[in-house]
Structure 1
């Protein structure tokens, strides 16, 4: 499978609900390293600003020549007078547009020819002239349209440029001032890179192995972490299978380090543990701690089981698959980490497919679940214990509003000041909690509120 075909294959699977990273990992054996790199580049530049690419392509289709009008062209995948463009054709237009306007080290002509050849091979030859005409116009005038969106005073245009779904703008405007939004939207354009959590005692040998592999790690601002200059598949890293390193963003590292700061004794409950990355960090950094992990998804639960074994900490971890609103802990936890399911708006640059699967109805359901989970965490936590409420969202509705509503009806919950301060990437919530902004390639956006459950009077 060539890189262009691989990108189209991955996008088709993403439309079915798969994560791009998983499909790329599964497809790796069918491509050379160079083709896999090209496929990944094309997929992510499409997904990070898909709405903008659709906007640009739609503009050229609507104002196109007689040929494009005869073939019923409009925005790819949208209704038009002559019907809908087939998904394969729409994706070819998106890949071609994004590639022509963002790829710096790949010949545009080769990309267009590869897409046209793919359409012919897939029995879509009647659309070849349309795609060729649109991509020729994109190559000539597309950069001007991108720059116009970047410079626009319209918040909607700025959202398109930044890759922020336009439907979500009301939530953003309720969360941040206009000047803050402009800064956040700029930060969301920073290409992500991988950071590594290094297992205790492995820093020197891992540094050497990474340099031998040409990865050139850099020191992080965080103890026990390294920075790479690009994103990597975890399984490709030297020492990964032996548990020497873990791919983890610096925002995630900071969140889990709060557990290290506030834990004193007793069982830690990780209510929504996912694939166990934060639990692994906690168990490695706190050699006397025991962690009970709950995860609703069977697939993520099994991944967490494998993660604990890879790190060699499974003896102190109890992993249970089930609903956090229904499970009962073996004993009352003295600290509860609740990394609640959310919109993921702070990670949209790193996991771009998730934002295009959201809607207002799903957003509202997530907020309702967050409130239920935080209330349950307060019920389960032992008196004088700590609840750390976390989302990877930058939207107030999922953060301060959730904390405020839950604590309003509970006299035994009191917020503890954040140790992060307000400089650099850290911002104070209004008034609850604290934010990490995605201010570097290694930082995702997070929100955190630390709550102490006071003993009943």
Structure 2
């Protein structure tokens, strides 16, 4: 490389703002806390804009996702260390302190380095006037490890203490225990805090998972889905197979529940399928590829226009017709052989992938969602022909979004539950009564719920 080009690159790098990965993480956290942004959307853009790659990008990602996942616990520890309610402090200072405390309590960064870099960040990004406070508080945080802080802050309330130790709101901890019981609860909470690998889906008939894993240079075959590949790292969008639509990003659990619908035994015609809540299109893409192999056609319904566009992109070249509309009022009764109702839900089954989600949800959100879920499942049964199969799916294990929704719709008549023998035989410990439940700590997937129903009248 010529000296001129080297100088140009150095000058270009010097002109880029905020290239320090800790500053990138801080800016991403601020976007989430101040602007209600989503970390998985803002962080990749910030990394690209600041030219952070490799180890620096990895550090920024760990700092951002880890801090956001642990916010409730970090704020409780900071309150104890500072002797004040952190809500009385300016939010940007709290964000910087959480970033520093995460390094002290969850990472192997030496304490002096974590404190010094955070104090420098406070001086540059918050205010020099509060740098002394930041230094004092973080030094107190560093005096104990996470277990010692958890012991000091323990109240004797089992669920509250588990929630603090594993960084979950208490109400979410209670909802998970209601399904799993107390013995598995700590493992389930811990699994929510482990960053998962990217899961890819090799669209059947378009690319094999062997070819996809070879193209990804280190990707390994998924454990359960015949189309899943685990990506070891990097940007999946840079893979040619993903960029050209031969494969797409999709959690293995999401693949399994879609496949369970496709593999359910069905008597009579099997040509008309529908995905009633299709956005953003992962399950549509997989079902559309299977439909192409079986000479079937898939209708995909999405109420939000911008999400309908994503569905159309995911289904390009497949026998899929995308409709922008409300699944509760779409279509003619009895027109479909297989129906997927992937209902809008709390998303509590994917907390490991959405670091800020647990702190944004409220228990009251569940009640409003359950009404919509019952309406959509009833609409799905209306669209199914007699003998047709309906799959009710949520990315949530919460009883009010799963068992209670199914029970309410079955009580109205016209359908019967069907056990997914395909999923039960492939994935151990996935049965939940007649339904199915996947778990991060058991299966390495998102906590997907599936109930299959057969239309009887």
TM-score by length of structure 2 reads: 0.85
Aligned positions of 1:12-411 closer than 5 A = 12-15=30-33, 16-31=35-50, 32-33=52-53, 34-62=55-83, 73-74=84-85, 76=86, 78=87, 84-104=88-108, 106-145=109-148, 148=151, 154-199=158-203, 200-211=206-217, 215-218=218-221, 220-230=223-233, 232-262=234-264, 265-287=270-292, 288-309=295-316, 312-313=317-318, 316-328=319-331, 332-410=335-413
Runs of 4+ off more than 6 Å: 149-153
Deviations 1:189-241 (A, max 9, x none): 44311222123444444333322xxx4535534323222345x4331334321
Question: In the aligned structure 2, how far is the partner of 1:286 from the partner of 1:379?
Answer: 21
State which drifts further: 115-124 or 132-141.
115-124
Question: In the aligned structure 2, how far is the partner of 1:452 from the partner of 1:147?
Answer: 49
Question: In the aligned structure 2, how far is the partner of 1:174 from the partner of 1:221?
Answer: 26
User: Residue 9 of structure 1 aligns with which residue?
Assistant: 27
Count of paired positions: 427
Gaps of 5+ in 2: 1-17
CA RMSD of aligned residues (A): 2.6
Shift of 1:150: 12
Match of 1:366, SS state, is: helix
Q: Pick closer, same or farther for the CA change 1:126–1:251 going to 2, 3 Å.
A: same
Q: Residue 105 of structure 2 contacts residue 146 of structure 2 at CA under 8 Å; is this kept in 1?
A: yes
State which drifts further: 360-369 or 439-448.
439-448
Question: In the aligned structure 1, how far is the partner of 2:357 from the partner of 2:113?
Answer: 30
Deviations 1:295-324 (A, max 9, x none): 223332222222223xx32xx111122322
Match of 2:346, SS state, is: coil
TM-score by length of structure 1 reads: 0.85
Deviations 1:89-148 (A, max 9, x none): 0100111111222223x5554443333233222352221111111112222213333563
Q: Pick closer, same or farther for the CA change 1:378–1:193 going to 2, 3 Å.
A: same
Deviations 1:311-370 (A, max 9, x none): x32xx1111223222333698222110111111111111112222111122121111111
